[in-house]
A and B are shown apart, each in its own frame.
Chain A
Amino acid sequence: MPQRYRIGVDIGGTFTDVCLVGPDGRLAATAKVRTTPDDPSRAVVDGVRAVADGRGGDVGAVVHATTLITNAIVERRGGRVGLLVTRGFFDTLEIARQHRYDMYDLRLERPAPLVERALRREVDERVLFDGTVERPIDPAEVERLAKELADAGAEAIAICFLHPYANPSHERVAAEATARAAPGRPVSLSWRISGQIREYERMVTTVANAYVQPVAARYLDRLRRGLGAVTPGAGLTIMTSNGGVTGVEAALEAPVRLVESGPAAGALAAAADCAALGLPGLLSFDMGGTTAKACVIVRGPDGEIRPDVTPEIEVARIYRFTKGSGLPLQVPSVELIEIGAGGGSIAWIDRLGRLQVGPESAGAEPGPACYPSSSGAPRSDPDPTVTDADVVLGYVGVEAFLGGRMRLDAAAAERALAVRLGGDPLAAAVRVRTAIDEQMALAFRRHCAERGYDPAERPLYAFGGAGPVHACGVAELLGIRRVIVPPAAGVGSAIGLLSAPPRVDVARTHFLDVTGAGDWAPVDRAYDEMRAETLALLATAGVGAAEVRYEYAADLRFHGQAHQLTVILPAEAFEAASGRRVDLVVGAFERAYARVYGRIPPGVGVQALQWRLVARGATPEPPSHQVASGDAGGATRMRDAWFAGRLVHTPVYRREALPCGEAVAGPVLVEEDASTTVVPPGWRLTLLPTGHLDVVREKE
C-alpha cells in the first residue's frame, strides 16, 4: 500500500488542534478550531476538513485524543448506570476506603458515587478468594434484576462481583443473563475492565466505564459518520490513557481507558521529541492557566522512549487536588503529576503571614488582574495572580500576549499585587514568582523521589502558556541544567498522536509465592488468556498478529507489604524452567526495589499479586518538524526584566526572528504567540534546526 496522509486530532477545553502529515513524513498543515462542547465531533470534522483541504481521499489514518471522557466524569454528565454486586456488598461504593483525606478539616465531604442507590442490586452468589464457588449464581435471578434496572432507567449495566480474577464465571453468566433481559444496553464486567484485586477500586472503574459508555457511544458514532464524509478511506484510532492507540470497537467496550487520553497525547509528543532529539529521557512540564502537569519520559527495557505508565490513577478530585478526594480508577495511565497551580492561580497571604499560591484560580474569566475586563470597564479589586507577577517582573510583555490580540494592563497587575500582598509591587511579584517555582519544584521532586528518579538527571521539556516562562526557574531549583521548548507547542499534542503505537495493557490478579514452591500453571494460563485477548483488541486497530510485541510485568512485593512495585520482567521468565524463573523474577524485583528504596530487607520472601501484559503494534515514524527559518533578525527591542535581584535591560526576540544554530547568552526573552521563554543570566539559548529552543545552563 502506498504511503498516505495521516491526521492527528486533539480536543482541548478551548481549542481543537489538528495536524496533517504527508506521505513524506513531514508536517503538511495544522489547524486550530474552537472546540464545540455541545457536540465535539463538529469541531473535529471542521478541523480535519481544513487541513485535508481536498486531500481527504488520500488520508489513511486519523488518530484522535479527547478529554470528553474525563470531563463527563468531572462534570457528572455520564449515563444512568445500573449496578449488580455480590449479595452483602450493596454499599461498597459508599464505604469506599473509609478514609478522611484531610486530617484537620471537619467540614469535608466525600465524592458522590456514580451510581444512585435506586439503581443497585445484590445478586445471591459468591466466589471465594481461591476461585471456589460457594454459592452458585442463578441466571434467572440476574435476568429479573437486570430487567428491574432497565425498567428503572439504566442505560448501561455494570457488574462487579467479589474475586472475579480468581474465577470470572459468575460475571460471565451474569453478563449473558443481562444481555437477555436488558437487550441493547452495554454491559461492563469488572473482570474485563480491570481484573484486579480491591473491590472498591475495581467497582469504581467498572461503574465509571458504564457511566461514560453512552457518552462515548454517541460521540464516536457521530465522529465516525462525520469523518466518513471527509476522509472516507481513513481508519480511526483513539489514544488511550496508557499512551497507546486503540480501535473504535475496543474504545466502545472500555471507554474508561480513554480517561487520560488528552494528557497522554502531550506526554507522547514529549517522548517523540525526546527520541527525535536523541535524548535518553525528559521531564516534561506543561503549565497552563489553572494546573501544571509533569511526566517522566524514560527509555524502556526494549530501548524505546516513552512516558512512565502507572496501573492506577485518581480522577475528579473534589478537594484542592488532594489525593483521596477523587475516584480511583484501575486504568493503566501515563503517570502524570498534576499540581493545582498555573498562570491564573491567585496569590494570597494566609493567617500566619505566609504567601500562598492557588489552588483558587482566576480562570479565563475574570482572569488575572492584568487582563482587560470583557466589558472594557475597569475591574474593582481583582485578585493578583502568577501571570500578574510575571508581567510586573517584565517576563511577559503587555503587547505580545496572544500575538498582540489582547493588551495587558501592567498597572492593574501592580495595584493588585500591592493591595493584596502588601508593600512594593515588585517585591511582591518576586515573592509570588519564588513561591510558584518552589511549589512546582517540590511537587516534581517528590514525584521523582517516590519513583526512584533523580529529577536533575533529565532535561526539562517545557510547554503550555506558562511552562516556558517558569522552566528555567524550576530547573534551577531541581538542579536541571537543560531546558527544551518545542516548536508549535500549540499543536504539540496532536503531533504526538501520530507517534503512538497501538497498545493494550491487561492484567490478572493471581497471588503467587515466588520464592516458595508455588505453582506457575495458573500464571501460564493467565498469560495464554491475556495474549488472546490483546491480539483480538489490537486487531480492531488493524494490527496483524505477526506485528504484536509483548512486554511482561508483575506487581511484586516482599511478603507482608501492602504496596507493590510493578516490575518489567524478561520475556524468558515466562518460557524458562521454573527454577530459573524464580531467579529471573526475584532478580528483576530486587534491582527495581533497591533503585527506589535503597535497602533490601533481609530474609523476606517475594510475592506476586498481579500479572501484567502490554501488547503493542509497531511504532509509527514520528513526523519531522519544519526546519526553522533561521532569519537572523536580532533582538526586536529591549525591556526591563527581573534577574539576579534587580531589573535588567533585557533583549526581547520574536521566536521567528531568532538566528538558527547561534548561541544567545541570557538574560534574554523569546516571545511567541502563546508564551514567552525566559532565559536568565547563566543560561545560553540556541535555536535548533528542528525548531526547538535549547536552553543550557553554563558551567559555573
Chain B
Amino acid sequence: MAPLPWDILWNRLIAVADEQAAALIRTALTPAVSEAGDLSAAVFDARGQMLAQAVTGTPGHINSMATAMVHFLDAYPHETLRPGDVLITNDPWLTAGHYHDITIVTPVFHRGRLVGYFGNCCHTADIGGRYFSADAREVYEEGVCIPISRLFVAGAPNEELLRFVRANVRVPDHVVGDLYAQAAANDVGARRLVETLDEFELDDLAELSREILDRSEAAMRDAIRALPDGDYAAEGEFDGFDKPIKLAVTLRVRGDEVLADYAGTSPAAERGINVVLNYTHAYTTYALKTALSPEIPNNSGSFRPVALTAPEGCILNCKRPSAVAARHIVGHFVPSLIFRALAEALPDRVLAESYDALWNAHWHGVRPDGQGFVLVVFNAGGMGARQGADGLSATSFPSGIHGFPVEAIEANAPVVYEARRLRPDSGGPGKWRGGLGQEFVVRPREGARVWLSPFFDRTVYPARGLFGGEPGAPGRFTLDGVEQHPKTTVELPPGSRAVVSLPGGGGYGDPRERDRALVERDVADGYITPEHARSRYGRR
C-alpha cells in the first residue's frame, strides 16, 4: 500500500478549518465575531483530539475548545450520535470560561462511522442575566447555562432547547441566528472532510491523526528539551476587583516535559474575574508555544508534553459558583507571566509584559429615539518590548481580536469619541521601548442614556519590563476627571466625559543603553516628551 500523503492531508485539514472559520465570520450576526474575530474553529479526530485549527481567532477559545472536546464525548458517546446531530454548550467549566462563549460541535460520519468532529466557539450577542460585566458575585447572575445538549437532532432543530434559549436572552433572533451560523460553519467543514477522505480512499482519520499528533508532539518535546531542566518561576500582582490579586507560576522543566504549577496564586475573587482551569490551560499552552516553537502547528499533540496544576479554588482554577464573566482579564495575564519565568533562559524569545487584559468596553443603554442598544468594543494597549525591537503600540495581545472603527462605534451606539490617540510616554522605557497604549475620550450623545461596563486592569500594577527595562504607564479610567472603578458598570451622565487610558508595554533592557538616535526620533515623533527623555533616558 502506498504511504499516506500525510503532509498533503495535514494542509488540507488546516484549509478545511480555515474555510469553516471564514463561513462563521461572514455569517455571524454579533460584531464580536464578525468584526473583531472573537472565535475559533477546529477539526477533531474520533477520539476528540484537535488535529487542526483555523489560522484566525483567539487563543483562549481555540485551546480551551481542544480540552473541552473530551466532555462532549463523555456526554454523548459515539453510539448515541447520528448524522445530523449537533451538540451545544456554554458551561464555563467545560469550555471557554464564561457563558457568553458558546461552543457548537458537529460529529462527522463517513462510510457509516463517526470519524471526527468539527467544533467552533464564539461570543454570543447576549446570554441573559446581567449585562456583560464583572459585577456579578455568583455565576448564576451571569446568564443562562446550557449544559451539553443537542441543538439539532438528526438534522432537525431541537425546538424545546431553542424556545428555552429564546426565553432567556434579550435579542433572541440574533442569538439563535448565530447558533445557526455556527452549525452551518461546521457543515462546511464536514462536507469538505468527507470529500477529502473519499478522494484519498480513507476509511477514517486514525492514521493521519497519529502522524499529525505524534510529529507535533515530538517537535514540541524537542523544543522543551532545549531548555535546561529546572524550575522557572515568576509572580505578579494585578488590580483585581476590590483588592489586588497575585498570580504565581513555576514551570517545572524535566527532560522533554513541562509542568506549569500555579501554587501561590490568590484565591478566587468575589466578583466575576475568576478563571476556570480550562482557560488557564489555553493561555499556558499558547504562551509556551509562542516562546518555544511558534512554527509548530497548534493541535492536541503539541499540548501533550505540557501539564498544569493550580490549587482548587484559586483564581486560575475557580469552582462553581464563582462568577466568571470577565475571566479574560485575569486569564490574559498568564502569557506575560510565563514569559517572565522564561526570560533568563530564552531572552531572545520572549516579550516584556504587555497591557494584556483586553480592555474591552461593554456599552448599553437607550438611544435618543427610545431604542435600546448594546455594543462590545475591544481596545488594545501597548505590547511589551523584545530583544532587538520596540514593543508594538495599540496592538492586541495575547488575544487575537481586531479593534473597531470609531465611525462604526458611533453608528452603533449613541456616543461621540472626542479622541482616540496613542499615549505619549506610556511605553515602558528600555533599550527597547515598550509599545504605547492608546487613550480614548467619549461622551454620550444628547438625549441618550449610556452605561459603560469596563473590563480594565493594570490601573495600579503596570506592565513590567525585563532586564532593566522599566514598566509601561498604568491604565486609567476617569469620568469628568474623577477616577472610576476599573470593573464596575457606570452610567455616563448627560454632558459627561469619560477618558480611558490603556497601559503601555514594558521596556526591555536598560533605557540608558538605548540608541541615542532612537531617543531623538521618539522625541521628534512625540512618542516620548522631552521631559521623559531627560528623566528616563538621560537625554541632555
Q: Report B-chain residues with C-beta under 8 Å of the C-beta of A129.
A: 407, 410-411
With both chains docked as a complex, state the minimum distance between the C-beta of B153 and any C-beta of chain A, in angstroms. 17
With both chains docked as a complex, state the minimum distance between the C-beta of A47 and any C-beta of chain B, in angstroms. 42
With both chains docked as a complex, state the minimum distance between the C-beta of A340 and any C-beta of chain B, in angstroms. 15
Interface centre among B18, B26, B125, B400 (most CB of A within 10 A): B26
Contact A560 B407 (CB under 8 A): no
Q: Is A54 an interface residue (CB 8 A)?
A: no
Q: Report B-chain residues with C-beta under 8 Å of the C-beta of A97.
A: 402-403
With both chains docked as a complex, state the minimum distance between the C-beta of A522 and any C-beta of chain B, in angstroms. 15
Interface stretch of the complex, out of B312-320, B387-395, B483-491:
B387-395
Contact A563 B411 (CB under 8 A): no
- Asked whether A88 and B417 contact (CB < 8 A) given A98-B379, A354-B10, A604-B177, the answer is yes
Contact A562 B34 (CB under 8 A): yes
- Asked whether A563 and B184 contact (CB < 8 A) given A351-B219, A601-B173, the answer is no
Q: Is A199 an interface residue (CB 8 A)?
A: yes
Q: Report B-chain residues with C-beta under 8 Å of the C-beta of A434.
A: 5, 8
Q: Is B201 an interface residue (CB 8 A)?
A: no
Interface stretch of the complex, out of A76-84, A407-415, A445-453:
A445-453
A91-B438, A98-B380, A563-B34 given; 11 more Cβ-contact pairs under 8 Å: A90-B421, A95-B403, A97-B402, A98-B379, A107-B386, A118-B525, A198-B407, A198-B408, A560-B177, A597-B26, A599-B181
Q: Report A-chain residues with C-beta under 8 Å of the C-beta of B420.
A: 88-89, 91-92, 95
Contact B392 A446 (CB under 8 A): no
Contact B438 A95 (CB under 8 A): yes
Residue of A nearest to B441 (CB): A88
Give B402-446 interface residues, CB cut-off 8 Å to A: 402-403, 405-408, 410-411, 416-422, 438, 441, 445
Question: Chain B binding site: helix, strand, loop or mixed by DSSP?
Answer: mixed
Interface centre among B8, B22, B188, B289 (most CB of A within 10 A): B8
Contact A199 B173 (CB under 8 A): no
Q: Is B168 an interface residue (CB 8 A)?
A: no
Q: Is B31 an interface residue (CB 8 A)?
A: yes
Q: Is B397 an interface residue (CB 8 A)?
A: yes
Contact B405 A198 (CB under 8 A): yes
- Asked whether A98 and B402 contact (CB < 8 A) given A599-B184, A601-B177, the answer is yes
Interface residues of B (CB under 8 A from A): 5, 7-8, 10-12, 15, 18-19, 22-23, 25-31, 34-35, 37, 55, 57-59, 125, 171, 173-174, 176-177, 180-181, 184, 187-188, 215-216, 218-219, 222, 289-291, 293-298, 349-351, 378-380, 386, 389, 392-397, 400-403, 405-408, 410-411, 416-422, 438, 441, 445, 524-526
Question: Nearest 7 pairs between A and B by C-beta?
Answer: A88-B419, A98-B403, A601-B177, A562-B35, A562-B34, A98-B380, A560-B29
Task: Report the bound CA distance from A474 to B289 in whole Å.
Answer: 34
- Asked whether A601 and B181 contact (CB < 8 A) given A91-B422, A117-B525, A560-B29, the answer is yes
Give A587-605 interface residues, CB cut-off 8 Å to B: 596-599, 601-604
Contact B392 A110 (CB under 8 A): yes
Interface centre among B15, B59, B438, B525 (most CB of A within 10 A): B15
Task: Report the bound CA distance from A89 to B416 in whole Å.
Answer: 13
Q: Is A612 an interface residue (CB 8 A)?
A: no
Q: Report A-chain residues with C-beta under 8 Å of the C-beta of B378.
A: 98
- Asked whether A438 and B26 contact (CB < 8 A) given A106-B351, A350-B295, A561-B34, the answer is no
Q: Report B-chain residues with C-beta under 8 Å of the C-beta of A108.
A: 392
Q: Is A644 an interface residue (CB 8 A)?
A: no
Contact B411 A446 (CB under 8 A): no
Task: Report the bound CA distance from A599 to B394 in whole Å.
Answer: 37
Contact A439 B215 (CB under 8 A): no
- Asked whether A109 and B216 contact (CB < 8 A) given A97-B403, A442-B12, the answer is no
Contact B28 A94 (CB under 8 A): no
Q: Report A-chain residues with C-beta under 8 Å of the C-beta of B174.
A: 560, 604
Q: Report A-chain residues with C-beta under 8 Å of the C-beta of B10.
A: 354
Contact B421 A89 (CB under 8 A): yes
Task: Report the bound CA distance from A100 to B400 in whole Å.
Answer: 6
CB contact between B418 and one of A88, A90, A92 (< 8 Å): that residue: A88
20 contacts between A and B (CB under 8 A): A89-B406, A91-B420, A97-B402, A98-B396, A99-B402, A104-B298, A109-B392, A117-B526, A197-B408, A200-B405, A352-B297, A442-B12, A445-B15, A559-B29, A560-B171, A560-B177, A597-B181, A599-B27, A604-B29, A604-B177
Q: Is A173 an interface residue (CB 8 A)?
A: no
Q: Report B-chain residues with C-beta under 8 Å of the C-beta of A103.
A: 55, 57-59, 400
Residue of A nearest to B15 (CB): A442
Q: Is A75 an interface residue (CB 8 A)?
A: no
Contact A438 B8 (CB under 8 A): yes
Task: Report the bound CA distance from A596 to B525 in whole Å.
Answer: 46
Q: Report B-chain residues with C-beta under 8 Å of the C-beta of A110.
A: 392, 395
Interface residues of A (CB under 8 A from B): 87-92, 94-100, 103-110, 117-118, 126, 128-129, 134, 162-163, 197-201, 350-355, 434-435, 438-439, 442, 445-446, 449-450, 511, 558-563, 596-599, 601-604
Residue of A nearest to B411 (CB): A129
With both chains docked as a complex, state the minimum distance between the C-beta of B178 and any C-beta of chain A, in angstroms. 8
- Asked whether A95 and B400 contact (CB < 8 A) given A109-B389, A353-B215, A563-B34, the answer is no
Task: Report the bound CA distance from A199 to B401 in whole Å.
Answer: 18
Contact A449 B188 (CB under 8 A): yes
Contact A199 B295 (CB under 8 A): no
Q: Report A-chain residues with C-beta under 8 Å of the C-beta of B177.
A: 558, 560, 601-602, 604
- Asked whether A602 and B438 contact (CB < 8 A) given A438-B11, A561-B29, A562-B34, the answer is no
Contact A95 B411 (CB under 8 A): no
- Asked whether A563 and B181 contact (CB < 8 A) given A100-B400, A129-B411, the answer is no
Q: Report B-chain residues with C-beta under 8 Å of the C-beta of A597.
A: 23, 26-27, 181, 184
CB contact between B11 and one of A92, A94, A109, A442 (< 8 Å): that residue: A442
Contact A446 B403 (CB under 8 A): no
With both chains docked as a complex, state the minimum distance between the C-beta of A424 and any C-beta of chain B, in angstroms. 14
Residue of A nearest to B18 (CB): A446
Q: Report A-chain residues with C-beta under 8 Å of the C-beta of B7.
A: 353-355, 435
Contact A100 B396 (CB under 8 A): yes
Contact A128 B173 (CB under 8 A): no
With both chains docked as a complex, state the minimum distance between the C-beta of B333 and any C-beta of chain A, in angstroms. 16
- Asked whether A560 and B31 contact (CB < 8 A) given A98-B380, A99-B401, the answer is yes
Task: Report the bound CA distance from A351 to B217 in whole Å.
Answer: 12
Q: Report B-chain residues with C-beta under 8 Å of the C-beta of A353.
A: 7, 215
Interface centre among A98, A129, A350, A449 (most CB of B within 10 A): A98
With both chains docked as a complex, state the minimum distance between the C-beta of A170 and any C-beta of chain B, in angstroms. 14
Contact B216 A352 (CB under 8 A): yes
Residue of B nearest to A601 (CB): B177
CB contact between A601 and one of B180, B296, B396, B407 (< 8 Å): that residue: B180
Contact A435 B8 (CB under 8 A): yes
Contact B296 A604 (CB under 8 A): no
Contact B403 A351 (CB under 8 A): no
Contact B421 A91 (CB under 8 A): yes
CB contact between B26 and one of A90, A445, A450, A559 (< 8 Å): that residue: A450
Task: Report the bound CA distance from A95 to B11 in whole Å.
Answer: 33
- Asked whether A162 and B12 contact (CB < 8 A) given A94-B393, A103-B55, A563-B25, the answer is no
Contact A599 B180 (CB under 8 A): yes
With both chains docked as a complex, state the minimum distance between the C-beta of B200 and any C-beta of chain A, in angstroms. 12
Q: Report A-chain residues with C-beta under 8 Å of the C-beta of B180.
A: 599, 601
Task: Report the bound CA distance from A560 to B123 in whole Å.
Answer: 13
Contact A562 B181 (CB under 8 A): no
Task: Report the bound CA distance from A106 to B35 in whole Å.
Answer: 23
Q: Report B-chain residues with C-beta under 8 Å of the C-beta of A99.
A: 37, 395-396, 400-403
CB contact between B410 and one of A94, A117, A128, A355 (< 8 Å): that residue: A128
Contact A199 B386 (CB under 8 A): no
Residue of B nearest to A598 (CB): B184
- Asked whether A446 and B15 contact (CB < 8 A) given A200-B405, A561-B34, A603-B173, the answer is yes
Q: Report A-chain residues with C-beta under 8 Å of the C-beta of B380.
A: 98
- Asked whether A352 and B386 contact (CB < 8 A) given A95-B438, A162-B407, the answer is no
Interface centre among B181, B380, B421 (most CB of A within 10 A): B421
